Structure 1
Amino acid sequence: MSIQYLALNFIVALFALINPIGNLPVFAAMTAGAKPKARRRIAVYIGVFIIGLLGIFYLSGLALLQVFGISLSAFRIAGGAILFLLGLDMARNDLNGGDEADELASLADHPSYARRLFERILVPFAIPILIGPGAISTVVIYASETRSMGMDAMAAGMIGICAAAAAVVAVLWATPFISRLLGRVGMTVTVRVLGLILCAMAVQFMIMGAADATHGFIRQDAARPYPVAQ
């Protein structure tokens, strides 16, 4: 398999796993009230974070998790738990509540607003919603395949990560258009429905993590009911 073909497959797989298009309404909800310029800046921050985190896993493999004695199964369960809390807040329309949100709203015109909001949504939006165990596993697997193909293949992998991150940023920049298209009522309904879906996804993440950790204690058709979607 040529380096170019392998890199193209890697970019497509990574973009599909990060799924910025499907998560666009979630980003719109979590940055509600932010001005377009601030949203674009947050999207760039997320893109840089994707390059940094996936780059670390690409270069180190699973060593980062192994240092802390963490398995991908545990990572999946923990990510599912965090995702469930986010989904619950969205379903209750309480995503932007709290004193911290009020403080951020007062800084809407301040240069540090985008950075502060990015710090607030980093977990769980950037990780584990965008960068989940699937994306991390894909990066680790691709890195193991390219190490035997030389530095050109390794460099192509890093370029692939950067290209996927740039595509994510481009998609997130379309958030104002989605917000205008749905309107206030449409966004409220969308956020609540997505909250329910995220709760279900979170439970599924935890079931899959538990199934992997217990080696067959949980039936595979319960852990992965739709094999094609894996």
Structure 2
Amino acid sequence: MQYTFLSATILLVLITDPIGNIPIFANALRPVAPERRARVILREILIAFALLLTFMFVGEGFLRVMNLSELALQIGGGVILFLIALRMVFPPASSAEEQQLAEPLIVPLAVPAIAGPSALATVLLLVSQQPERRLEWIGALCVTMAISAVVLVSAERIQRVIGTRLVTAVERLMGLVLVSVAVEMLLRGIKTFVVQLMKG
């Protein structure tokens, strides 16, 4: 599947899911003083950006070391995306989580809320399919992180203005789009695999 700068950006935004992360960030930042929350959010986004950027540069070497083909990565990435998308469309019942008493660092905000397995697999896939366009993918990642920063820093205002129900509805709509992307990735991967079998 060939991506453009725009389609890669949209895909990364859908996967990092800033709207869906609003409740996670709101819960994790409760112990943090209100005037400090924006700085904590920006720090966590920078950590997630650094991790995803690292994967963009070491991704090809990682594939070689693990002896993985691009086709396996594409099908595996499609499966992961599909499972993530299903959780967005049909979220699990919320359980009473332990109250966090300290300021969050890296976990659970940078990883896995922003730079989760699906985001890492996606940047790996983008670079492995079209390594010559690495600068474009870095640009797409920068735009994605900027969108996440704006949404998450404004999270409390967004929740007040549009309400929790609309936030949930938007997340499920994004999940539905992501299901379609995941199915497309799987179908293309299976088609390539069948063609290789026929030739072999």
**TM-score normalised to the size of structure 2?**
0.70
What value does the CA root-mean-square deviation take over the aligned residues?
Answer: 3.3
- Asked if structure 2 preserves the Cα contact closer than 8 Å seen for 1:14 and 1:135, the reply is no
User: Is 1:134 aligned with 2:110?
Assistant: no
Task: Indicate the residue corresponding to 2:181 in structure 1.
Answer: 201
Structure-2 residue corresponding to 1:112: 104
AA aligned opposite 1:197: V
Per-residue deviation, 1:52: 0.8
Contact 2:75 2:189 in 1 (8 A): yes
Identity %: 16
1:209 is paired with a residue of what secondary structure? helix
Q: 1:69 to 1:161 in 2, by over 3 A?
A: same
1:7 is aligned to none
Q: Match for 1:170 among 146, 171, 194?
A: 146
Counterparts of 1:33 and 1:97 in 2: how far apart (Å)?
11
CA contact (8 A) 1:29 1:187 kept: yes
1:65, distance to aligned residue in structure 2 (A): 1.0
- Structure 2: unaligned runs, 5 residues or longer: 30-36
Aligned positions of 1:1-230 closer than 5 A:
17-19=8-10, 22-23=13-14, 26-34=17-25, 35=29, 36-37=37-38, 38-57=40-59, 62-94=60-92, 97-98=94-95, 102-103=97-98, 106-107=99-100, 110-121=102-113, 122-129=115-122, 131=123, 133-138=125-130, 140-142=131-133, 165-176=141-152, 177=154, 179-180=158-159, 182-215=162-195
User: Could you tell me how far apart the structure 2 residues matched to 1:164 and 1:193 are?
Assistant: 22
CA contact (8 A) 1:18 1:135 kept: no
Contact kept, 8 Å, 1:93 with 1:191, in 2: the verdict is: no
CA–CA separation in structure 2 for the residues paired with 1:84 and 1:204: 10
Q: How does the TM-score come out when normalised to structure 1?
A: 0.62
Matches of 1:169 and 1:110 in 2, distance apart? 25
Query: Aligned pair count?
Result: 179
What is the CA–CA distance in structure 2 between the aligned matches of 1:56 and 1:113, rounded to whole Å? 24
Gaps of 5+ in 1: 1-12, 144-156, 219-230
How much has 1:20 moved relative to structure 2?
Answer: 7.1
Q: Distance in 2 between matches of 1:161 and 1:88?
A: 26
Deviation at 1:24, TM superposition (A): 8.2
Please state how far the C-alpha of 1:136 moved relative to its aligned partner.
Answer: 3.7
Return closer, same or farther for 1:15/1:50 CA change in 2, 3 Å cut-off: farther
8 Å contact kept, 1:51–1:162: yes
Aligned in 2, Cα 1:31/1:135: closer, same or farther, shift over 3 Å? farther
AA partner of residue 111 (structure 1): E
Secondary structure of 1:196's match? helix
